[in-house]
Amino acid sequence: MKLIVFRDNLKNGLLAAERAVADSSNLPILKNVLLKTVGNKIQLTTTNLELAITKLISGKIVEEGALSVPFSTFYSIVNNTTHDRINLERSESSFMVKTDNYEAKMQGSSAEDFPLVPRMESMDHYMEIDPVFFQDALQQVISAAHISDIRPEISGVLFDFQMTSLKLVATDSFRLAEKVIDGGRFKHTFEAGFKAIVPLRTAQELLRVISRTTPLLVHCDGNQMLFTSDDVELMSRLIDGTYPDYEQIIPKDAETEIALDKAHLMNAVKLVSNFSGKTNDVRLSTDIEGKTVTVHSVNQFLGENKYLIPARVTGAQITDIPFNWRYLLDGLKSIQGDSVVLRLNGNNRPALMRPESDISFLYVVMPIRV
């Protein structure tokens, strides 16, 4: 194998693939990246057996071949060299990296020893969706996800595909986010709906490496999901288990509904949180006239502070409903638009936040139990 590649192309390819590299002492080959010539492209592949990332880059292929090499050392060489052109060459199991004034000889491993990346049973069924819209939708829900060893079924994002819509859902049992993507936003060849729990790490990588300029294709065969976009592929195992019946906790009615400016509320939460206690609590109250919301917190060691926001309040007056300010802020950051609606049902029942002008997204958060 003999290759000539521009440094930036190689560096960007390695950056795309690095998150699937595993630090495994039991299976050291997972610390490697597989280099392989495919047609007139150079393919870089990494895997941790749960997630596999494949990136194609351009380069001059003088001689075809394949070899896996230690990712960390290889990336460090590429990142620190100052020359634009890099020559890569395999000699038996050795791997040479050369520039005009630098040469390194690394010990590689046979491509046959590198773990086989699973393939889909069939590529006939897929969804095609605009990558910008998909990533923006995923970004709205991902902050509510949390890795849990006790409840692995919530350690990811639920893809609930219903033929005419796709729901993305995430929860950590204290808050929940749901985004509904209407069928007009995608096209598909699936013959039936499905539910799949995509691991949180895979969802995070989809935000990082998927191209935002070419359509995203999504394949699912029940055990794994494949995402392809331009020159990047992400193959991921799915989380076993049944996702919680989350719809039953979404409030259908509200004792109190508040409409207010999102930026004001975000600023209030940030300022008032400086006095929050160990539970990270800030409290919401409304005035009797239904024209303002007070965000306040008390700290026995620091003091207290409050922030008044003009609002449109309908329904019952609320007093001192405590929320985790970080959860509130995550929800507000996920909401698109200038105005937000809060739907509250007292101190012990879930509260709902959503954009005032968009019913496709909602964020549910539990008050802190005092």
One-letter amino acid of 122: S
Which residues have C-beta within 8 Å of that of residue 353, sequence separation ≥ 6? 331, 332, 335, 340, 341, 342, 343, 362, 363, 364, 365
C-alpha angle 281-282-283 in degrees, rounded to nearest 5: 120
Rounded to an integer, what is the distance from CA 16 to the centroid of its chain? 15
- What number of residues does the chain have? 370
**Domain-wise residue ranges, the chain:** 2-113, 127-246, 250-365
Query: Residue 257 corresponds to which tokens in the numbers above?
Result: 């509904």
CATH code for the structural domain at 2-113: 3.10.150.10
Which residues have C-beta within 8 Å of that of residue 234, sequence separation ≥ 6? 51, 52, 53, 54, 202, 205, 206, 209, 210, 226, 227, 228
Query: Residue 320 corresponds to which tokens in the numbers above?
Result: 């001192």
Separation of first and last alpha carbons in the chain: 66
C-alpha angle 94-16-83 in degrees, rounded to nearest 5: 60
pLDDT value at residue 6: 97
Tell me how far apart the alpha carbons of residues 75 and 68 are, in angstroms, rounded to a whole number.
13
From first to last of its 370 residues, what are the pLDDT tens digits of the chain? 999 999 999 999 999 999 999 988 889 999 999 999 999 999 999 999 999 999 999 999 999 999 999 999 999 999 999 999 999 999 877 899 999 999 999 999 999 999 999 888 889 999 999 999 999 999 999 999 999 989 999 999 999 999 999 999 999 999 999 999 999 999 999 999 999 999 999 999 999 999 888 999 999 998 999 999 989 999 999 999 999 999 999 999 999 999 999 999 999 999 999 998 777 899 999 999 999 999 999 888 889 999 999 999 999 999 999 999 999 999 999 999 999 999 999 999 999 999 999 999 999 999 998 6
Q: Which CATH number fits domain 127-246: 3.10.150.10, 3.40.50.1390, 3.40.50.620, 3.30.930.10?
A: 3.10.150.10
Query: Residue 19 corresponds to which tokens in the numbers above?
Result: 């998150």
pLDDT value at residue 257: 97
Tell me how far apart the alpha carbons of residues 306 and 282 are, in angstroms, rounded to a whole number.
9
Please determine whether the domains at 127-246 and 250-365 fall in the same fold group of CATH: yes
Q: Per CATH, the architecture of 250-365 is what?
A: Roll (3.10)
